[in-house]
Chain A
């Protein structure tokens, strides 16, 4: 059952992934990269879910299902986001968020 890897390792990995995602989300200007950062954040959360489920409540399934659900939503969100990005590209010929500022002020 216990594989020898402590729970903290999973949590540290997830935290690193989460902040890498946040960092990417805040600093990148390319919409695709921002989308990738969001995926990173979601996946770090998934790792947390699975790790807690496995280590703290091994006889329950909620964490597993939740992460599956997150993956499903993330897939849908990616589809929508990419569609939006394509449309933005058609409209402005760019996917740099700083240039897409028609609604500013």
Chain B
């Protein structure tokens, strides 16, 4: 089977970006939106065809899914050994990501047709959405780690551009800069990690790198540093890039601020696709983590677990609905990281790996759905704050229903897809460590609580007075909601373990009721508590907040992480490093140059009077010179 055509999956959005970016302002806004959406629809179809062919026709040889290098092109031949390739790699996780990304992206495109209607820069928006789709797809099909890094940065820049879409709003500009700088800082670790890793393994190529029997894993022992091998250090550094992009603690600070972007962007980039790039990165490198750097894998697990708990606690007190969803995203990605961290390799041991990918795809569905619903709500109420909402279920029936489905999904109530994927993660954690299981179990309860806090405050509660009656969004916005809701509800029945496994060998899973029943119970408990506190406007939340004043304040202020960063950057780095350097630059380096320039200028000001522009003065000098020469000549002649 020839998978050459998969190149078009990358080419179409890129061409669309060029077209809309260069000629978009000449087209009618509606046409450019339709073009962008149409291009994406084409690659969605291609992705589904690829998935069908890969999973059910040609991907498996003797029941094992192999990695297929569908296309490879040597892009930069630096030396014989060192070359950077660009290509398309198909394996279970990249094919799955193709399907997830194109599906969510298509829904967001359709939704944006309605949501962004009449906005200035409509075609610019679609151009950048195409750029983002191109970069994200390039990232997942990367054949080598360097290609991944290139597209990784492209994704970062498109996220930066789209967060700052409303570039006239200072807060949006600040948020985009923050996102870019924080993730870029984390990517520095990624780059160093890549360099160390490839220096030791002599290859960039994923197929060689991740072959458990290959030279990269078996033949790299060697130097150690601070008690850990060099490979472990490089994998921790690579993970640092993933931490930045996936908004894990301590690089999570950009994600809540990124909600300044348009809501469809939040749904696509900051919930469903780009932020899971870190998870995908770890999954892609998983054999190296497992065989060559188990300590790094422990780091992955603990950072994931901590982030998920940390974010869930913060989400309980935020009032901006998009920020609640942002923290919830962070928490759910923590789940995925944890699942990878506790996973084994091969067969049923690789349950965590499978669960992580499973949760990644269900999360993409329900989180995109939640964000798109939030967009519809904000569209109707013109406010981001849940304190301005209440009793909306009467005005927004479709949004209400789809939001409820998404909330049930994320809370892990059967038979929604979230139940299955979260259950697998909990089982994987259960078999690995009691402590991590306990943390995730608590987070499951918190998740149900804060999601239903959101749900009850928005759709139930006491009806607030609205300036004008909220109305349901147009069909372009509600249809994606319905499709995504169907996806969230039924995606759980996809037999993931038969398709996507750590070593490509399918296995069977069944629900472990000993884990599933308590997790459903704690989810229900969270919902019940939220119902008691928020279904009617009661005094309970305020009383609790007053009683646990400090806990509430710390959570409300996000544990002051932003302030700590500000203190470190502004109070220490800026004051004691940057300012002296700036002084030196300004006064010594610039001073030298400036004084040279000043002297030159002074002299030229003095002598420019000679150039009076008056021909007669020139002529006078000329004649005097000529006379002088003649006199001199005559004098010399006579000698």
A and B are partners in one complex rather than unrelated chains: yes
Binding site for B on A (CB under 8 A): 22, 25-27, 34, 97-98, 101, 103-105
Residues of B within 8 A of A27 (CB): 616
- A-B CB proximity, top 10 nearest: A104-B613, A26-B620, A101-B613, A26-B616, A103-B613, A22-B623, A105-B608, A26-B619, A25-B619, A105-B611
Residues of A within 8 A of B613 (CB): 101, 103-105
- In the complex, how many angstroms separate the beta carbon of A94 from the nearest chain B beta carbon? 14
Interface of B is mostly: helix
| C-alpha spacing A25/B612, complex, angstroms | 17
B596-625 with Cβ < 8 A to chain A: 608, 611-616, 619-620, 623
Given contacts A97-B615, A104-B613, A105-B613, 9 further A-B contacts (CB under 8 A): A22-B623, A25-B616, A25-B619, A26-B616, A26-B619, A34-B616, A98-B614, A103-B613, A105-B611
A104 and B612 form a contact (CB under 8 A): yes
- In the complex, how many angstroms separate the beta carbon of B486 from the nearest chain A beta carbon? 76
Selected A-B contacts with CB under 8 Å, 22 pairs:
A22-B623, A25-B616, A25-B619, A26-B616, A26-B619, A26-B620, A26-B623, A27-B616, A34-B616, A97-B614, A97-B615, A97-B616, A98-B614, A101-B613, A101-B614, A103-B613, A104-B611, A104-B612, A104-B613, A105-B608, A105-B611, A105-B613
Q: Closest residue of chain B to A25, judged by CB?
A: B619
Residues of B within 8 A of A25 (CB): 616, 619
Binding site for A on B (CB under 8 A): 608, 611-616, 619-620, 623
| C-alpha spacing A104/B619, complex, angstroms | 16
| C-alpha spacing A101/B614, complex, angstroms | 8
- In the complex, how many angstroms separate the beta carbon of A103 from the nearest chain B beta carbon? 6
Residues of B within 8 A of A98 (CB): 614
- In the complex, how many angstroms separate the beta carbon of A27 from the nearest chain B beta carbon? 8
- In the complex, how many angstroms separate the beta carbon of B540 from the nearest chain A beta carbon? 81
| C-alpha spacing A101/B613, complex, angstroms | 6
Residues of B within 8 A of A101 (CB): 613-614
Q: Closest residue of chain B to A104, judged by CB?
A: B613
Residues of A within 8 A of B616 (CB): 25-27, 34, 97
- In the complex, how many angstroms separate the beta carbon of A44 from the nearest chain B beta carbon? 14
Residues of B within 8 A of A26 (CB): 616, 619-620, 623
Residues of A within 8 A of B620 (CB): 26
Residues of A within 8 A of B619 (CB): 25-26
| C-alpha spacing A103/B612, complex, angstroms | 9
| C-alpha spacing A101/B617, complex, angstroms | 13
- In the complex, how many angstroms separate the beta carbon of B602 from the nearest chain A beta carbon? 16
| C-alpha spacing A27/B612, complex, angstroms | 15
Residues of B within 8 A of A103 (CB): 613
Residues of B within 8 A of A34 (CB): 616
- In the complex, how many angstroms separate the beta carbon of A28 from the nearest chain B beta carbon? 8
- In the complex, how many angstroms separate the beta carbon of B169 from the nearest chain A beta carbon? 47
| C-alpha spacing A26/B617, complex, angstroms | 7
- In the complex, how many angstroms separate the beta carbon of A56 from the nearest chain B beta carbon? 20
- In the complex, how many angstroms separate the beta carbon of B524 from the nearest chain A beta carbon? 86
- In the complex, how many angstroms separate the beta carbon of A24 from the nearest chain B beta carbon? 10
Q: Closest residue of chain B to A23, judged by CB?
A: B623
Q: Closest residue of chain A to B627, judged by CB?
A: A22
- In the complex, how many angstroms separate the beta carbon of B342 from the nearest chain A beta carbon? 78
Q: Closest residue of chain A to B612, judged by CB?
A: A104
Residues of A within 8 A of B623 (CB): 22, 26
| C-alpha spacing A98/B608, complex, angstroms | 17
| C-alpha spacing A101/B619, complex, angstroms | 16
| C-alpha spacing A25/B618, complex, angstroms | 11
| C-alpha spacing A103/B615, complex, angstroms | 12
- In the complex, how many angstroms separate the beta carbon of B229 from the nearest chain A beta carbon? 70
Residues of B within 8 A of A22 (CB): 623
- In the complex, how many angstroms separate the beta carbon of A14 from the nearest chain B beta carbon? 16
- In the complex, how many angstroms separate the beta carbon of B624 from the nearest chain A beta carbon? 10
Q: Closest residue of chain A to B620, judged by CB?
A: A26
| C-alpha spacing A27/B613, complex, angstroms | 15
| C-alpha spacing A34/B619, complex, angstroms | 12
Residues of A within 8 A of B611 (CB): 104-105
Q: Closest residue of chain A to B608, judged by CB?
A: A105
| C-alpha spacing A89/B247, complex, angstroms | 74
Residues of A within 8 A of B608 (CB): 105
| C-alpha spacing A101/B616, complex, angstroms | 12
- In the complex, how many angstroms separate the beta carbon of A29 from the nearest chain B beta carbon? 8
- In the complex, how many angstroms separate the beta carbon of B571 from the nearest chain A beta carbon? 51
- In the complex, how many angstroms separate the beta carbon of B619 from the nearest chain A beta carbon? 6
- In the complex, how many angstroms separate the beta carbon of A30 from the nearest chain B beta carbon? 11
| C-alpha spacing A12/B614, complex, angstroms | 30
| C-alpha spacing A97/B615, complex, angstroms | 8
- In the complex, how many angstroms separate the beta carbon of A11 from the nearest chain B beta carbon? 15
| C-alpha spacing A104/B207, complex, angstroms | 71
Residues of A within 8 A of B612 (CB): 104
Q: Closest residue of chain A to B613, judged by CB?
A: A104
- In the complex, how many angstroms separate the beta carbon of B387 from the nearest chain A beta carbon? 67
Q: Closest residue of chain B to A27, judged by CB?
A: B616
- In the complex, how many angstroms separate the beta carbon of A5 from the nearest chain B beta carbon? 26
Q: Closest residue of chain A to B624, judged by CB?
A: A26
- In the complex, how many angstroms separate the beta carbon of A21 from the nearest chain B beta carbon? 11
Q: Closest residue of chain B to A29, judged by CB?
A: B616
- In the complex, how many angstroms separate the beta carbon of B585 from the nearest chain A beta carbon? 34
Q: Closest residue of chain B to A100, judged by CB?
A: B613
| C-alpha spacing A22/B620, complex, angstroms | 9
- In the complex, how many angstroms separate the beta carbon of A45 from the nearest chain B beta carbon? 14
Q: Closest residue of chain A to B623, judged by CB?
A: A22
Q: Closest residue of chain B to A28, judged by CB?
A: B616
| C-alpha spacing A8/B96, complex, angstroms | 110
| C-alpha spacing A101/B612, complex, angstroms | 8
| C-alpha spacing A94/B612, complex, angstroms | 19
Residues of A within 8 A of B615 (CB): 97
- In the complex, how many angstroms separate the beta carbon of B605 from the nearest chain A beta carbon? 10
Residues of B within 8 A of A104 (CB): 611-613
| C-alpha spacing A51/B282, complex, angstroms | 104
Residues of B within 8 A of A97 (CB): 614-616
| C-alpha spacing A11/B620, complex, angstroms | 23
- In the complex, how many angstroms separate the beta carbon of A35 from the nearest chain B beta carbon? 12
